Structure 1
Amino acid sequence: MEKTLEERWFPFSTYALNDTEHKKIFCFHHAGGSASVYRKWTFEKKNTNFICIELPGKGTRRREPFVGDFKKLLDPLCECIIKVTQGKPFILFGHSMGAAMAFYVAEHLQSKYGIRPEKLIAAGRQAPQDEDPGEFKTYMGDDALIRELKKYNATPKEILENEELLHFVLPEVRKDYTLNESLIYNGERIDAPIYINCGSRDIGATSTIMQRWQTVTTKEFKEKEFEGDHFFVLNSEKYPEYLATAG
């Protein structure tokens, strides 16, 4: 049976997409990731419906054309979010590149549809108006991209030292950085609370760096630091529980 558009955008969820009993948290992945990075969060049935977002050309949608301009994804994604939330409160969560994607989705929902998330939770990413001067740019060569992957310590050594595997991995990661570079700030602000989460050893998104998120909301702003590096979100067994109860 052919999947609906909503099922393609949201391939993994704790409960059914039309569930109305549990709070929905939409989860945006980091560059180089896919919806599957959060899939383990959906296995434990508690009071939260974690919904993992899959972009065209990624993961379960790899047969579809990749879209490198996030602005072209805003309308179809927001319309699917509106359809599955059914007017109920929901939360947007994003880690690293995903934090910026979540922000622009929140702003688009607000400006075009008059809908606001209950809160935006941003982890491991500088504020939308700021640039990370040490971040890989797509005009750089593969050696620079490999250094980027090593810096974040999330790519298995077996892949980094295997030229044949890198031949497949690097183009996929590079595509995500193209998408990342399309996330351009033009003075947007959102009328929803922003909670920022940072890793104690994440030098690219320290507490000081992430404080700048406070300037892109008109509502409440909160901060919480977690033990760990850039990928504390995925390495902490307690983090999903925090997301479900953050308030």
Structure 2
Amino acid sequence: MSPRPRPDARLRLLCFAYAGGGSAVFTDWAAKLPEDIEVNAVRLPGRESRILQRPYDDLRELIPDLAEAIGDRYDSGPFVLFGHSMGALIAFAYARLLRDTGRRGPEHLLVSGRRAPQLSHNRPVIHDLPDDAFVERLRALGGTPEDLLNNPRVMRLIMPGLRSDFRLNDAYAYEPAPALDCPVTAFGGREDRHVDEAGLAAWAEQTTGPFALRMLPGGHFFLHSAQERLLRELAGILA
């Protein structure tokens, strides 16, 4: 999904949202990044217009299907991957698959709000909590709008997708493999309680190319609260 298609774009930015998030997370980005960048966002099953489709809860099933759905549309020109939290894990796994299948890989991997994949999981497991406890954990994490959390009817509709996203995160098991050769930049929020600077710095092990770490003001969802700052950083990298 591209909110502003730009067929003559110099570079494409393919974005993956956090657990429970959809392509709408990146709608504003197209208007705020340079005009020679085309912003594309992946809309996974179980959310937005695909709310009735079965969501994925296993990364090993998601990534091959994702690659098939994307096809060869990024083979002909340069692109960059961006993912936040769960999206960072998906972007990383997708970059690995492209490398392993001999396809064109990203010019840069941008990961945000997630510890390096080789590190142990340090966030409480929540996907199997009772509904009330699950909603309270979502409220504490801060990524789900309060009006949704307070609407039982809507929550019944989106709960399967939310649980599947967190199950995908909770069940992920890192598999050692050669490092990527593209540059990697990791972004984090200085007040994020679960994704610390050391956990972000460990992404350096996943590339043989340049690595950079950028810490921004805010908690886990700094990509919203510090959006202007994040997009300035991205514009500089993409230039």
TM-score w.r.t. the length of structure 1 is 0.84
Aligned residues: 235
- Supply the distance in 2 between the matched residues of 1:182 and 1:111 (Cα, whole angstroms): 22
- Residue 244 (str. 1) matches residue 238 (str. 2): no
Q: Which amino acid aligns with 1:12?
A: S
- Residue 187 (str. 1) matches residue 185 (str. 2): no
Match of 1:217 among 204, 207, 213: 207
Closer/same/farther in 2, CA of residues 26 and 98 from structure 1, 3 Å limit: same
Q: Which moved more, 1:179-188 or 1:83-92?
A: 179-188
Q: Which amino acid aligns with 2:123?
A: G
Match of 2:2 among 8, 12, 31: 12
Match of 1:28 among 7, 12, 16: 16
Give the structure 1 partner of residue 196 of structure 2: 206
Give the structure 2 partner of residue 4 of structure 1: none
Contact 2:26 2:41 in 1 (8 A): yes
SS across alignment from 1:92: strand
SS across alignment from 1:205: coil
Give the structure 1 partner of residue 138 of structure 2: 149
- Supply the distance in 1 between the matched residues of 2:74 and 2:161 (Cα, whole angstroms): 31
- Supply the distance in 1 between the matched residues of 2:68 and 2:150 (Cα, whole angstroms): 42
Q: Which amino acid aligns with 1:240?
A: L
SS across alignment from 2:139: helix
- Supply the distance in 2 between the matched residues of 1:14 and 1:162 (Cα, whole angstroms): 32
% same residue: 29
- Supply the distance in 1 between the matched residues of 2:94 and 2:165 (Cα, whole angstroms): 17
Using the TM superposition, give the Cα deviation of residue 20 of structure 1 relative to its aligned residue in structure 2, in angstroms.
4.0
Closer/same/farther in 2, CA of residues 144 and 132 from structure 1, 3 Å limit: farther
Q: Which moved more, 1:116-125 or 1:167-176?
A: 167-176
CA RMSD of superposed structures (Å): 2.3
Gaps of 5+ in 1: 1-10
- Supply the distance in 2 between the matched residues of 1:246 and 1:55 (Cα, whole angstroms): 26
